Amino acid sequence: MRREMEAKHAALLKQLEQQALTDTLTGLPNRRAFESEAARVMANAKREDWPVSIGVADIDWFKRVNDQHGHPAGDTVLRTVAQTIQNHVRAGDLCGRIGGEEFGLLFPHATVEQAAVIAERIRLALAATPIAASPNVTVNLTLSIGLSVLDVNRLLDAAIAAADAALYQAKLTGRNRVVISQSP
């Protein structure tokens, strides 16, 4: 009886931990899980001396979807974008929903130039995918993506800020593009 209770307790704790680290809408890791995994990857990369790149992807004009078609359509779009990204990253890469319509991308064993090739593949795939946002509404969307080197000797926040600044440049220069951060 006691072992059975302990097993149930352990299963419940595991379920709660999973829920605390998962974005319920997309099923992707949430920001907390994404940052935790990035920190783990940084430690491994520093110890084993391999490159890591990080990215921030944002759905272009997403607010229009919610405003014109409602939040259920927006939710469908978020799930579809998440799945599209998942389908086009490499095994071992990580995608997480880090806020609103923003997705974090982690590319272990990839220079920022290699990450740009993957990010471009994601961007092109989404641009070519009409999304059935609701039974009577199909939308075509694009992504802007900012990339940065994840310098293992600096703070994770600095790399995310650099990727976010590159994302901002992508937005300012026309959207639907991948921009690599110029800061280390």
Kindly list the catalytic residues.
101
Sign of the alpha-carbon dihedral angle for 107, 110, 113, 119:
negative
Show Cβ contacts of residue 173 under 8 Å, excluding neighbours closer than 6 positions: 179
Q: How far apart are CA 143 and CA 120, in angstroms?
A: 10
Give the integer Cα–Cα distance in Å for 114 and 112.
5
Residues 121 and 15: their CA atoms lie apart, in Å, by 34
Measured CA to CA, the distance from residue 138 to residue 131 in angstroms comes to 5
Q: How far is CA 71 from CA 18, 38, 100, in A?
A: 25, 30, 12
Length of the chain: 184
Between CA 127 and CA 154 the distance in angstroms is 34
